[in-house]
């Protein structure tokens, strides 16, 4: 998923008087976060309302450690082997944080290093609205930084996702209605009944649009 970077590495502000140790991404709460490499869960932390709140530290194959912070849910545990793309948990707004976001940090030999080269990959491996629906049952979307992203969100991208999820939830109702239509039309002719069912599903889809 294309995500907006809201805080850069090394930035000094009132939240990070000693400099920001990672990158922040504007990611909505409940978005699945995935490991950018194979690795092993080094630590699962929960600092309460301090620091990165709930977080996961993954020791990647190359020896660096990726830190995912401010999460709402964590699906992995210490010592667990992780494959690239595996879901670690859901993003959130825990810890010392003013808005829902993902903090991603990188450590090498115990020192923070700049994770910016991995930023695109971290974003790519964060879930889409469809993913969020699968995990949380809602499809509200992120702010997109590009004009194209905005158009996509506001037009068909958003609509297709909503349409698919709405159609799936309306499916039982459509099935019942089409069964009734089938029964009624069947009194006249079999092919009439078949078309009745098809038209019911098409009209149902149009109603959802």
Helices then strands, counting H and E runs in the chain, come out as 5, 10
CB 126 within 8 A of CB 91: yes
Query: What's the min distance (Å) between Cβ of 64 and Zn ion?
Result: 17
Residue owning tokens 């974003």: 123
Does 153 bind Zn ion (CB under 5 A)? Our answer is no
* Nearer of residues 24 and 131 to Zn ion, judged by Cβ: 24
* Nearer of residues 18 and 172 to Zn ion, judged by Cβ: 18
Contact set for Zn ion, span 95-124 (CB under 5 A): 103
Distances (CA, A) of 26 to 80, 144, 148: 28, 9, 18
Say whether 82 sits in a helix, a strand or coil.
strand
Contact set for Zn ion, span 11-50 (CB under 5 A): 24
101 is catalytic: yes
**Residue, CB closest to Zn ion:** 103
Residue owning tokens 């909503």: 162
* Nearer of residues 125 and 133 to Zn ion, judged by Cβ: 125
* Nearer of residues 104 and 144 to Zn ion, judged by Cβ: 104
Q: Check 101, 103, 111, 162 and give the catalytic one.
A: 101
Instruction: Classify residue 3 as exposed, middle or buried by CB count within 10 Å of its CB (0-12, 13-18, 19+).
Output: buried
# residues near Zn ion by CB under 5 A:
2
* Nearer of residues 25 and 144 to Zn ion, judged by Cβ: 25
**Alpha-carbon radius of gyration of the chain:** 23
Instruction: Classify residue 103 as exposed, middle or buried by CB count within 10 Å of its CB (0-12, 13-18, 19+).
Output: buried
Query: What's the min distance (Å) between Cβ of 103 and Zn ion?
Result: 3
Exposure on the CB side of residue 108, measured as CA atoms within 13 A:
5
Query: What's the min distance (Å) between Cβ of 93 and Zn ion?
Result: 12
Residue owning tokens 């809201």: 6
Query: What's the min distance (Å) between Cβ of 120 and Zn ion?
Result: 17
CA distance 68 to 106: 9
Query: What's the min distance (Å) between Cβ of 24 and Zn ion?
Result: 4
Catalytic residues: 101
Residues that bind Zn ion (CB under 5 A): 24, 103
């Amino acid at each position: 998923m294309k995500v907006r970077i809201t805080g850069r590495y090394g930035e000094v502000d009132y939240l990070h008087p000693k400099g920001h140790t990672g990158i922040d991404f504007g990611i909505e709460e409940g978005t699945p976060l995935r490991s950018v490499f194979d690795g092993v869960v080094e630590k699962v932390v929960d600092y309460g309302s301090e620091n990165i709140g709930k977080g996961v530290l993954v020791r990647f194959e190359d020896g660096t450690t990726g830190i995912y912070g401010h999460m709402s849910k964590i699906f992995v545990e210490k010592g667990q082997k992780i494959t690239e793309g595996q879901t670690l948990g859901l993003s959130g707004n825990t810890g010392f944080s003013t808005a829902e976001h993902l903090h991603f940090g990188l450590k090498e030999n115990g020192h923070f290093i700049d994770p910016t080269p991995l930023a695109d990959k971290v974003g790519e491996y964060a879930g889409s609205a469809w993913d969020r629906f699968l995990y949380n049952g809602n499809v509200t979307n992120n702010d997109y930084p590009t004009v194209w992203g905005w158009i996509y969100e506001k037009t068909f991208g958003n609509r297709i996702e909503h349409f698919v999820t709405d159609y799936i939830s309306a499916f039982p109702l459509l099935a019942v209605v089409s069964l009734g239509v089938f029964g009624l039309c069947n009194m006249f002719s079999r092919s009439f009944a078949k078309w009745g069912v098809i038209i019911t599903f098409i009209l149902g889809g149009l109603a959802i649009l």
